[in-house]
Structure 1
Amino acid sequence: MYISDSEILAYIAEDLPYFDLTTSLQDIKKQAVLKIFTREEVVVSCIDVAARAAELLGCEAKILIQNTQTAKTNDMIVQILGSYSNVHKAWKLVQIMLEYTCKIATYTNQMTRLAKAENEKCEILATRKSFPFAKKLCLKAVIEGGGGVHRLGLSDSILFFKNHIIAYASFDEFLAQIPSFKAKMPERKIAVEVESLEQAKELLGAGVDVVQCDKFSPQMLENTVALRDEIYPNARIIASGGINAKNVAEFARTNIDAITTSAPYAQGMADLTSKLEILD
């Protein structure tokens, strides 16, 4: 996941549109070093982006634990060296970015491990419900946590919801359009979200590529997988709606292909801390 300097500079400009009013009063000409530690075990994510932000602010950054690696409690993950004023400019920008991204990566990793322990083929896919204006960082954190991406956005995939289907006179009328949809987009999979086992059965009969089962119970998912195996083995069955680290193993056990979730985005921030030292 490439994040350009211009994107990082835009992030910096949100917090530093002109200059640091506080350090400008001090007029301190010394060097400083900022050390960022974790107070809990985390999967490190976006450490390269955080380091680059520090470099663009005139500092040197030393990455001590790389993306996708696990940092233990009290481990230092990055060190930033520069002038006193520049280190202060980088301080919260870097720490806050890492607090969010490491938390997303850590939770994604937890869900992935729990799912894979029950069903090796079951993928954890993050939804489009990332933080506004922070999609790249969120997706990068998910990927570095071992997860995948459900949809990058409206332009990369086809997924029909109830709000699309109500445009037709009936569900049967919608089903009749599936061959036309597949002919118009031969290189794309046609996915449809359903809320009942009966609709899932009808979609499989119509040759839909992906059946996304919204808020199905584990038993309903097992039934859907059995129908898939009987009617259209090439289809993929995905579970969505309310799945998180507490219940992911139960859903993965149903032999579905993937789970879509927004849970990694809703876990808050990792418990990181920092220490600034003045150098002689």
Structure 2
Amino acid sequence: MTISFGDGVLDALIADDVPYGDLTTRLLGIGAQPGRMTFSARGPMVAAAVEDAARLLERAGCAVARTASSGESLAAGAPILTAEAPAAALHRGWKMAQLMVEAASGIATATRAIVEAARAADPNAAVAGTRKAMPGAKALSMAALVAGGAVPHRLGLSETVLVFAEHRAFLGGEPPAETVARLKRGAPEKKIVVEVGSVAEGVDWAAAGADVIQTEKFAFDAVADLAARLKAAELPAIIAAAGGIAAATAGAYVAAGARVIVTSAPYAAKPLDVAVRIVPA
């Protein structure tokens, strides 16, 4: 799965940073001089948004050669890309391209740590990122999440069925089995996910036919209890543990019985430094 920016988005990023030209470069009179710009990892990172940063630089007027790809683990000092162009084009694309890679690589690196922790407990475990990304930064966040080895939990309200207590409050006490049956009639190709607040509630909804039981901020022992009860009752629903789970706890949740880790923690990751060097060609 690859998530990329359209050319219009990249052009808008350039225009946001250079709305009326680069005043400093113009006043110095250096815009036509040929130059070379290199990006490299200042520290270890999982690279992300590299392809989109390269395309942004191309839209700014640079010729770009990539030496790394999104999803690749890089050591400190590893090269990421090289751009050649007149100085005006290099300065036009420099900062936006750098910020894209830095922000996305921070998210991807945090995501990779969670994925590795979860799969150390179970190689088949999955990590899914919530839709709680920074408003306006969903595409970059999702691209970084995928580069880190996770999948989007839901990209928005339009493509998944996830029933919260806030939905059930309007159902007037409808039995869970009737609710699940209605949902499956309405969208037979979709998995029915139900978020629960207790073990008993999870068992009830699994018995009603829900495909996934999402546990919100459960303790490890509560997830283990739910897993044991589902197994004893021969209920096939899988458990998705949610609640901002980070690398330090992901393995324990998987060991307790969660098949999926649902988290928004990577979106708060600090951007990772990309070293940029610009010199005359």
TM-score class, shorter-chain normalisation, is: over 0.9
Contact 1:44 1:68 in 2 (8 A): yes
1:160 aligned residue: 163
| Structure 2: stretches of 5+ with no match in the other structure | none
Contact 1:207 1:232 in 2 (8 A): no
Contact 2:176 2:208 in 1 (8 A): no
Listed one character per residue, the Cα deviations across residues 204-260 of structure 1 (whole Å, up to 9, x for unaligned) are 111111110001111111111122223353312100013101211111211311010
1:267 aligned residue: 269
Distance in 1 between the 2:209 and 2:150 partners?
A: 27
Distance apart, 1:165 and its partner CA: 1.3
State the secondary structure of the residue aligned to 1:187: coil
> Greater CA deviation, 52-61 or 12-21?
12-21
1:138 aligned residue: 141
User: What letter is aligned with 1:257?
Assistant: R
2:112 aligned residue: 109
Matched pairs, number = 278
Distance apart, 1:18 and its partner CA: 2.6
Q: Report the RMSD for the aligned CA atoms in angstroms.
A: 1.5
State the secondary structure of the residue aligned to 1:247: helix
Contact 1:119 1:255 in 2 (8 A): no
The 5 Å alignment of 1:103-252 reads 103-170=106-173, 173=175, 175-252=177-254
Listed one character per residue, the Cα deviations across residues 124-177 of structure 1 (whole Å, up to 9, x for unaligned) are 10110112222122111111111111101100101111211111333x545532
User: What letter is aligned with 1:244?
Assistant: A
Q: Would you say 1:92 and 2:95 are equivalent positions?
A: yes
State the secondary structure of the residue aligned to 2:229: helix
Distance in 1 between the 2:227 and 2:202 partners?
A: 10
Q: 1:48 aligns with which of 31, 51, 59?
A: 51
The 5 Å alignment of 1:69-84 reads 69-84=72-87
User: What letter is aligned with 1:77?
Assistant: I
Q: Would you say 1:258 and 2:260 are equivalent positions?
A: yes
Q: Would you say 1:64 and 2:64 are equivalent positions?
A: no
Quickly say closer, same or farther: Cα 1:93–1:41, change in 2 above 3 A: same
Distance apart, 1:264 and its partner CA: 0.8
User: What letter is aligned with 2:212?
Assistant: V
State the secondary structure of the residue aligned to 2:247: coil
Listed one character per residue, the Cα deviations across residues 53-112 of structure 1 (whole Å, up to 9, x for unaligned) are 000111011111122211101112111111111101111111100001111111111111
What TM-score results when the alignment is normalised by the length of structure 1? 0.95
Distance in 2 between the 1:107 and 1:101 partners?
A: 10
> Greater CA deviation, 251-260 or 95-104?
251-260
Distance in 2 between the 1:233 and 1:169 partners?
A: 26
State the secondary structure of the residue aligned to 2:39: strand
Contact 2:61 2:89 in 1 (8 A): yes
Q: 2:7 aligns with which of 5, 14, 35?
A: 5
> Greater CA deviation, 44-53 or 172-181?
172-181
- Percentage identity across aligned positions? 31
User: What letter is aligned with 1:139?
Assistant: M
State the secondary structure of the residue aligned to 2:248: coil
Distance in 2 between the 1:13 and 1:230 partners?
A: 60
Distance apart, 1:278 and its partner CA: 1.8
> Greater CA deviation, 64-73 or 222-231?
222-231
